[in-house]
Amino acid sequence: MGLIFWNLRNLCNLRMESEMVIHDTGSGNLVKLAGLILVVVTLFLSSGCRSSTSNNQHKLLIYTPHGQDMLRDFVARYKQIHPEVDVQFLDMGSREILERLRAERNRPQADLWWGAAHTTFQTAADENLLAPYRPSWADKVPDFARDAQDRWYGTYETPEVIVYNSEAVRAEDAPKDWDDVLDPKWRDKILIRSPSPSDSMRAIFGGMIWRYYKDTNSPEKGYDWLRKLDANVHEYTADGTLLIQKLARQEGVISLWDLPDVRLYQEQKKLPVAYNIPTSGTPVVIDAIAVVRGAPNAEEAKRFYEFVTTPESLIQSGRNYYRLPVRRDIDRRQLPDWMNAPFVRMPIDWELLRKQGNEWLRYWDTEIRGRGR
């Protein structure tokens, strides 16, 4: 703004000087001076327009829950190819991103949303918060991993698992299936991340209710399961990081969480955590990506979208950040062996969970949480 005022002030001075010269010169000099003023004004205006356009084209703001390590890695790799782009990201919970996009509906700030459950993306799509974009690999994912109107596409699959402290619990004694965590021997030994802000916990709680709902058309037996779980819970933590830290400190020894996070803390952070994929089946969340409707830098968002979803980037995500790729054209021989091991997927009506989930969680929060202790 200061530069604009400086230029305007100088243009005014030039005009005043011109008027003084006009009184002292003939008509030929007058024409030359008028032409000079026109050139200066044109250069000023075009320079301002170029600066504004350039700044707009080379910025990118990403909302994402993917964590600092993964984000810095991919941003650094992207900037090696596109050093002119100022890439910024806000790392926050998936439900927080949804609320933020709702608040910014009339004046979008973010360009790209990278990461959250497909159910949360579908809610955003239904609320007209996402822009249609069909990526170059659109036909490489199954129908259940994409929006029919191209407003979001799946990137990773996220199985939910039973976690335990590997120093406090022997592998042979650790819960192998969902109902095992209800055993009275785990009373006051279970840590649970508060479910409402977390897509992973929403999937787990929703899956536990769905196991019974599909046969009874009622959530009541699912609520009973959550009551028994609550009786064993030592604490509901505010976020996933705190959950794993407390588990490592043995403030609790059993938990429920997502597989990629557990492997990251196990292999990179060297914390004493291990996991079992429930034998009867586990909910598998589809992690997605989308361009924000009305994004200030939509074209740059699309370029980054394509970059993080190439086979090379997906293999990088698998090897370094334990993300299971959704794309079916990936050379799976380049992925860690554990990613190719079979496991049982819990069949879930995700649309029902999306529509009923808030009501189920409200009931849990008001009628179940903390009452079993």
What are 150-160's pLDDT values in tens digits? 999 999 999 99
Strand partners, 72: none
Predicted confidence band of residue 58 (pLDDT cuts 50, 70, 90): confident
Is the pLDDT score of 329 beyond 60?
yes
Predicted confidence band of residue 22 (pLDDT cuts 50, 70, 90): very low
Predicted confidence band of residue 372 (pLDDT cuts 50, 70, 90): confident
Instruction: Assess contact for 84 and 109: CB atoms under 8 A.
Output: no
pTM for this structure? 0.83
Q: 51-55, 258-262, 316-320 — which is least confidently predicted? A: 51-55
Which superfamily does CATH assign the domain made up of 159-284+346-368 to?
Answer: Periplasmic binding protein-like II (3.40.190.10)
Residue range 57-157+286-340 forms a domain whose CATH class is: alpha beta
* Phi-psi domain of 205 (left: phi exceeds 0; alpha: psi -120 through 50; beta: other): alpha
Encoded tokens for 320: 């370094």
Is the pLDDT score of 271 beyond 50?
yes
Cβ-based neighbours of 86, under 8 Å, separated by 6 or more? 58, 59, 60
Counts for the chain of helices (H) and strands (E), in that order: 12, 11
User: What is residue 165's three-state secondary structure?
Assistant: strand
Is the pLDDT score of 133 beyond 80?
yes
Q: Are strands 190-193 and 233-237 parallel, antiparallel or unpaired?
A: parallel
Instruction: Assess contact for 44 and 7: CB atoms under 8 A.
Output: yes
